[in-house]
Amino acid sequence: MFGCNNSDILGGLIYIDGCYLVYVKEEFDMIFYLGIAVMIFNEGFVILRHVSPYLAQKRADLIKKFGSKWKLFHSIMDVTWVTLVAVGFYLDLENWKINLAVFGTIWGIVIIYYIPVLYKKFKKK
C-alpha cells in the first residue's frame, strides 16, 4: 500500500523519495514460494515422465503438437522460476535458511530419484 503524506513512520513503514511504503514481508515470502510452485510444475512434469508411461506419452504428444513452441514455453518457465526464486531469496534474506532448506530438499529428492535412473541408463551402455 502506498501513501504520500507526512505522518510518522510506524513499524513496517519505509520512507522512500518523500513517500511512505508499507513493507509487507509476507509478499516477499510469496515471491519465493510462487517460484517454487512454478519450478515444481515445470520440472515435475519433465521428471515424472520417468515414473509414468502415461505422462511420458502426454509429454511426447505436447512436444509433437507444439514443436519448438514447447521448448520456448519450457524455457520461459525455467527463466520465470529461477528469477522468482532468486528474487525471493534476495528480498527475504531474513529467512534464507528456511528458503534454502525448502529449495535444497526439493532438489535433494530429485537427485536421490535420479540416481537409479542414471544408473540404469549408464548400465545399458
CA distance 120 to 117: 5
Residue 8 lies in a domain: no
User: pLDDT tens digits for 40-67?
Assistant: 999 988 888 888 889 899 989 999 999 9
Structural domain containing residue 111: 25-124
Task: Return the HEC string of 2-44.
Answer: EECCCCCCCCCEEEECCEEEECCHHHHHHHHHHHHHHHHHHHH
49 contacts 113 by C-beta, under 8 angstroms: no
User: pLDDT tens digits for 3-53?
Assistant: 444 444 444 455 555 555 544 455 667 899 999 999 999 998 888 888 888
Residue 60 lies in a domain: yes
pTM of the model: 0.70
Give the total number of structural domains in the chain.
1
